[in-house]
Chain A
Amino acid sequence: MKLSRNWLEDYIDLSSVSNAELENWITTRIAEVDSLETLQEPMEDAIVALVKDVQALAHSKKLFKVLVEIGSGKEAQVVCGATNCRVGMFTAYVPPQGKILVGGKLVEITEREVAGVLSCGVLVAEDELGLTNEHSGILDLSLVAGGRNLEAPAPVLKPGDKLKDIYGGADVIFEIDNKSLTHRPDLWCHFGFAREIAAILHKPLKKNINKYLDDSPEGQLAIKQLVGAGVSEYQVQIASATPCSRFMAVEIIKAKNEISPLWLRRRLQAIGAGVRTILVDLSNYVMHDVGQPNHAYDADRLVGKKLTARMATVGEIFKALDGASYELSPEDMVIADEQGIVGLAGIMGGERSSIYETTNHLFLESACFDAVTVRLSAKRHGIRTDASNRFEKSRSPFAAALAILRFVEIFLKLQPEAQIVSRVCDEFPNKPERKRIEVSGNYVRSRLGVEISDETIEQILTGLSFKVTRGSAAELSVEIPCERATKDISIADDLVEEVGRIYGYENIQEAAPQILPQPAESVKIKEFEYLVGSTLVARGFSEIYNYSFMSGSLAQKLGYDVRAAIKLKNAVDETTAHLRTSLIPNMFSAVEQNYKHEQELYIFEIGRTYEKDFDLRHLQLKFRDQYQTFPTTFERRLVCLVYSSGRDEKELGCLLKPAVAQGADFYALAATVQNLVWLSTEKPVCLEPLAQGDSAYVAWMHPYRSARVVVNGVDLGFIAEARIEAFEDVRERVVFAELDLELLMEVDVTQKMTKALPKFPDSFFELAVIMPEHEPYRNLEQLFWQKAQTKLLRRIEPLSVYTGQPLADGTKSVAVKFYFGSDDRTLAREEIEELQSSFMNVVKASQYSLR
């Protein structure tokens, strides 16, 4: 919303306040100033000129040679093309070296020859002076009513007088952030701000229009005194169950719909409002002046003499004054005459009854419409107006009188021949009770943390139009001004804010509270997430964030069933249609994107997925309750890893231990997963082949390079290489892993005691076993753990895997190292040899053979 400084000065003397100071006062005590703009002041050079002579030019059909008197007996010859130029008119003249506005820029006037005639200076139109956008002819000062504002007397025009002395100098516009005003229905106008500024600066208001709020006897009297010619036959009515708390209107006759006075047009233009003719402009002006939206109907175009506020019927058509037609429903509130709808209540007037050039008979409406009804209606039809914007903030019905009184006051001053017809229609079925709040000075002080006297508190509240009476010694009984009582101010804490902001928050000193030392119990899983993140970074993985939503088509293409996914009711596009059920689909996109410029890729994401059904295993977790009390949906915390070395499998496989001929990237990521598991338990990761048909198998997975990650009997997730055809452009091998972090964190909750280090060294020997090529290595290990009759075996480790000559096709040789030890002795060589032969016998007795 834009505020004009000149306009504010109607209400308060700001002569000693700079623009920067004013901006600071407004921002720190009322609402945020977005910007401050000083309007151009080209009027500096413009003076009043009297046209003495107008002659057609011989060489031009469009131009005239004009002689003007410019004061002190001097005259100037100007070439001019304006058709409204006539002898005897007062206009505005800018001499050479003076400046005018052309296309938003200041241009200097030079003396020059036009069509063979010397032109010394120019006669200007309103837009060239930055007054308004008017450019239909040169300024005709005799037609421009009034001076610099409503109160100023009409000027006596004299050639040579400076225009800025007559119409006032440059204006300064403060643009207020609308979002900072959503709770303040009283601040959507100049008077509202003036009232606050007066309270801040301890200055009196030049004119206090609070008295027009008819919640006081004064205001009621003002309305009663509004009488004029005859008795009006016009009526207003509020239909039952219509959320219109008040409906006022007044009939005005003998009006002239002429051009508005210059000062009024300047002000509307300065705050960015459009300018038409007085009947429309004034209605608009009053809204920006006192905040109350109102609407002027052409009374002669209304059918019948009664306006009714009611709800629309199904499918009722409303033709608005913007020319568009709207199909309404019973949720829309309207104003109707006998023939039909003449206005969408609080939003926009209708076309049929709008003001025309010839309108001279008005019916002026000022009502109070329900905020939510107006907001939803405006939203439904996509028409937000200055009026709907104000009604959305919950206006007071008492403020309806403001617009009537202010409109009539200004209008009758501008057009003394116009008359109102008695009396003001006013339907006001349920007057709200006056609201009071009891608050003590101690309460205010204890909240703000500042020593501020009861007198100061009272003074601040009174300045803001609260009525304060001292109750018992410590209590203040505060009556809320009607405009603030609709929703903004309802409890003592609201008054704390009023006092605090006017007192000045900068006057509050910081203070450390006295607190009880107590350990802060933090959410364990967050700590664990950081631990996982920093571990992965140390291993060369970079963390990325993907969105929480996923594209259904992408997920489906990868083989995920999206039917069970939670969806967004109001997704903005296909990529936000579903809540992700796995981190994988978005990670595929990230891999595609990054491979446009990377040769290898190591990334991870820690994030959540969202599911309707709970994973029951989570209910057993000890720390789950820390953040999942009152759950909505099941949110799983996952880590997703991507490993893609971009290297030849054999080349990388040689670096691994044991060396592998195939699947090096898979094994490397498996080793990283083992690292993560070690953050939680020393137990080994068991990878179980995940084949097509398995419930955890997804179509994008390589059917022979996918595994379930099981630790301590708990299924934590998977590791899987992607099928090459799952990508669009990527041609490298990419291995993904996805693990449930909460299950991982609590995968092994046994309390572990520290063990003393072994006193005696371990012994070991190696065996090479030939087994079928596709037989899992794990079977071999299990064989020894199960069949070896010894408690001395500590650990088994594979050293190498070999296929090829001289081994038979379809077989492999696995070299395994066995570690033995005892807590009470070093094993003797004989013991080792005995163990070795017994282990060899285990192999011989199995389906495998020794190499």
Chain B
Amino acid sequence: MLTESIIEHLKQEAEQEIKNATSLSEIERLRVAYNGKKGKLTAWLKELGGLDVEARKVLGAKLNLVKEEITSNLENKTLNIQKAESSARYQLEKIDVTLPVKAPVCGLEPAGLHPVTVLQKELENIFANLGFTIADGPEVESDYYCFQALNIPSTHPARDMQDTFFTTSEHVMRTQTSAVQARSLEKMSPPFRIVAAGRCFRCERVDAFHSHTFYQMEGMMVDKNITVGHLLYFMKTLLREIFGVEQKVRLRPGYFPFVEPGFELDIWYANRWVELLPCGLVHPQVLRYGGLDPQEWQGFAFGLGLSRLAMSRYKIPALRFLDDGDVRFIKQFPRILPKGN
């Protein structure tokens, strides 16, 4: 006959046994012994049916409470034992990290560099051969270098939250490598030529066709008496180096606040004009922000979209391959960098 003292006893007995358990198998044995089909608790629960209504109500509630307590005790103990066991297992795995070990491994796997790295290095080599300095700048950029010093007014849509990532440190994720133009103008003494490649960001969700991360290369030349003809010379030289033969190109009007005049450079490819890169003569205001007198110094600048160029260069079917880190994709790419300068 079920009584309160039986329940109380059951509870204490279970508590003690669970406390004493030291292994997962013991815990499992206890679970079966109490909560299993033929367990002690289960047996008492079945007997509830034979009691009168009042007793069933009172004792049933108590018994169920105990059942819950036991279940939760078992679970906690299981976690504790697992933790201790894993800790013990990790201890058994202890190694002597100070031991200098040589690993004569070669050719583990065919490996590759990311296609953007390969392309970037190739382009940098071309420009280095033409006397350009390889420059660099931060990816978290100040509003000043990313926009203001590039003659992009504070009311320009590019400075909206919907286009540009803003950080809690009151900066922006650079939207263009052009920010390096502004930095180079301040830092370098003219005449100079630079290229700067790297990551850029826009406020966008990632899907099959879009990404918030893309790669650009910026170029800039500052000297005296720079003309559109000079810009054209460097662009055609660049394309000849990339493609191995002379390329047919055209300039057409394009608008970018930091160049004037501004162009889109198209390349004749597969029987049609394909938009390749924006460029132009450096806007006098940008030179002034950089502390140069536009009467004395002029320049040209251009931007190359590396993601797109890499895609056409290596026939990459979708943008996401550049980003999703699939090693099977990377292994297809040249295992050595293009020849250096």
Contacts and interface: CB of A to CB of B under 8 A. Distances in A.
Interface of A: 27-32, 180, 182-184, 371-372, 375, 379, 446-450, 491, 493-494, 496-497, 500-501, 505-506, 508-513, 515-518, 520-523, 525-527, 530, 533-534, 536-549, 566-573, 576, 579, 589-590, 593-594, 597-598, 600-603, 608, 610, 612, 626-633, 635, 645, 655-658, 660, 662-663, 666-668, 670-672, 674, 684-689, 702-707, 719, 723, 725, 774, 776-779, 797-798, 801
A633 B169 contact: yes
Contact of A526 (B91, B98, B134, B325): B134
Contacts of A629: 183, 186-187
Contact of A27 (B87, B128, B252): B252
A542 B155 contact: no
A456 B140 CA distance: 47
A27 B272 CA distance: 13
Contact of B337 (A534, A571, A630, A776): A534
B111 A632 contact: no
Contacts of B262: 497
- Give the most central of B96, B165, B168, B324: most A CB within 10 Å: B96
A446 B255 contact: no
Contacts of A630: 142, 145, 183, 186
A777 B99 contact: yes
B104 A655 contact: yes
Contacts of A656: 101-104
Contacts of B243: none
B168 to A, nearest CB: 5
A159 B284 CA distance: 67
Given A632-B169, A798-B99, 11 more contacts: A448-B229, A500-B261, A505-B252, A505-B253, A513-B227, A627-B136, A631-B138, A633-B171, A704-B91, A706-B97, A801-B96
B112 interface: yes
Given A511-B227, A630-B142, A798 B103 contact: no
Interface in B233-250: 233, 236, 250
Given A579-B167, A798-B100, A493 B255 contact: no
Contacts of B284: 491, 493
Contact of A635 (B97, B139, B142, B161): B139
B59 to A, nearest CB: 42
A610 B336 CA distance: 30
Contacts of A719: 97
- Give the most central of B98, B160, B186, B324: most A CB within 10 Å: B98
Nearest to A591: B325
Contacts of B91: 703-704
B111 A657 contact: no
A168 to B, nearest CB: 31
Contact of A544 (B114, B128, B136, B255): B114
B34 interface: no
A520 B131 contact: yes
B227 A449 contact: yes
Contacts of A601: 327
Contacts of A523: 134-136
Nearest to A549: B212
Interface string B163-191: 00111110101000000000100110001
A567 B253 contact: no
Contacts of A603: 325, 327, 330
A672 B103 CA distance: 8
A725 B212 CA distance: 31
Given A447-B281, A449-B227, A497 B253 contact: yes
B37 interface: no
A632 B327 contact: no
B205 interface: yes
A540 to B, nearest CB: 3
Given A449-B228, A491-B260, A540-B107, A635 B98 contact: no
A703 B141 CA distance: 38
Contact of B230 (A505, A511, A533, A778): A511
Contacts of A518: 131
A573 B171 CA distance: 19
A630 B204 CA distance: 28
B111 A540 contact: yes
Contact of A777 (B96, B229, B236, B327): B96
A377 to B, nearest CB: 13
- Give the most central of A446, A450, A522: most B CB within 10 Å: A522
A780 to B, nearest CB: 9
Given A449-B229, A493-B260, A512-B230, A671 B103 contact: yes
Interface string B250-266: 11111100001111100
B331 interface: yes
Nearest to A492: B284
B232 interface: yes
A671 B160 contact: no
B250 A506 contact: yes
A168 B167 CA distance: 57
Interface string B72-83: 000000000000
A508 B213 contact: no
B93 A635 contact: no
Nearest to B116: A545
Nearest to A450: B229
Contacts of B165: 568-571, 576
Contacts of A32: 252, 264, 275
Contacts of B173: 548, 568
Contacts of B124: 526
A382 to B, nearest CB: 11
B42 interface: no
Contacts of B302: none
Contact of B169 (A566, A657, A704): A566
Contact of A379 (B132, B160, B325): B160
A667 B99 CA distance: 8
- Give the most central of B128, B166, B262: most A CB within 10 Å: B166
13 contacts: A496-B260, A505-B251, A511-B233, A515-B191, A520-B133, A530-B117, A537-B336, A544-B114, A566-B168, A572-B212, A610-B139, A630-B183, A776-B96
